[in-house]
Amino acid sequence: MTQELKEHHDANAGQKDLLVVNNLKKHFRLDRKTVLKAVDGISFSIKEGETLGLVGESGCGKSTVGRTLTRIYEPTDGELEFDGLKIKGRLDRKTKKRINRDVQMIFQDPYSSLNPRMTVSEIISEGLVIHNPDMSPKEREKRVHELLQLVGLNKNHAGRYPHEFSGGQRQRIGIARALAVEPKFIVADEPIAALDVSIQAQIVNLLKELQEDRGLTYLFIAHDLSMVKYISDRIAVMYLGKIVELAGSDELYEKPLHPYTQALLSAIPLPDPEKERTREQIVLTGDVPSPTDIPSGCRFRTRCPFAMDSCAVIDPEFREVEPGHSVACHLYDAEIMEKEGKELKTV
Partner 1 sequence: MDKNILEVNNLHVSFKTRNGEVPAVRGVNFSLKKGETLAIVGESGSGKSVTAKSIMQLLPKQNTIIPEGEVLYEGKDLLKFSKKEIQNVRGSDISMVFQDPMTSLNPTMKIGKQITEGLSRHMKLTKKQARERAKEMLELVGIPNAEARLDAYPHQFSGGMRQRVVIAIALACNPKVLIADEPTTALDVTIQAQILRLMRGLQEKTDTAIILITHDLGVVANMADRVAVMYAGEVVEQGTLDEIFYRPQHPYTLGLLRSMPNLDAPRTEPLIPIPGSPPDPASLGTGCPFAARCPYTMKVCHDHNPGYTAVSGTQAVRCWLQDERTPEDHIPEVIRKGRQTSEIAADQAAIDAAGGVPV
Read off the DSSP letter of residue 294: P
Q: b or e along 89-116 (b: 16 or more beta carbons within 10 Å of the residue's beta carbon)?
A: eebeeeeeeebbbbbbbbbbbbeebbee
* Nearest CB to partner 1, comparing residues 243 and 336: 243
Task: Kindly state the smallest distance separating residue 19's Cβ from partner 1, in Å.
Answer: 22
* Nearest CB to partner 1, comparing residues 141 and 248: 248
Task: Kindly tell me the sign of the dihedral angle through the C-alpha atoms of 50, 169, 142, 137.
Answer: negative
* Nearest CB to partner 1, comparing residues 178 and 192: 192
* Nearest CB to partner 1, comparing residues 99 and 252: 252
Closest CA to 292 of 13, 38, 26, 12: 38
Closest CA to 185 of 83, 89, 110, 303: 83
Task: Kindly state the smallest distance separating residue 287's Cβ from partner 1, in Å.
Answer: 5
* Nearest CB to partner 1, comparing residues 103 and 243: 243
Q: What's the rounded Cα separation, in Å, for the pair 328 and 347?
A: 13
End-to-end CA distance of the chain: 20
Task: Kindly state the smallest distance separating residue 175's Cβ from partner 1, in Å.
Answer: 15
- The helix or strand, by DSSP H or E, that contains position 53, with its residue range, turns out to be strand 51-55
* Nearest CB to partner 1, comparing residues 146 and 209: 209
Read off the DSSP letter of residue 157: G
Task: Kindly state the smallest distance separating residue 157's Cβ from partner 1, in Å.
Answer: 14
Longest dimension (CA), the chain: 73
Residues lying near partner 1 in the complex (CB under 8 A) are found at 57-58, 166, 168-169, 196-202, 204-205, 208, 223, 225-227, 229-231, 249-250, 253, 263-264, 266-273, 275-276, 281, 283-285, 287-288
Task: Kindly state the smallest distance separating residue 196's Cβ from partner 1, in Å.
Answer: 4
Task: Kindly state the smallest distance separating residue 55's Cβ from partner 1, in Å.
Answer: 10
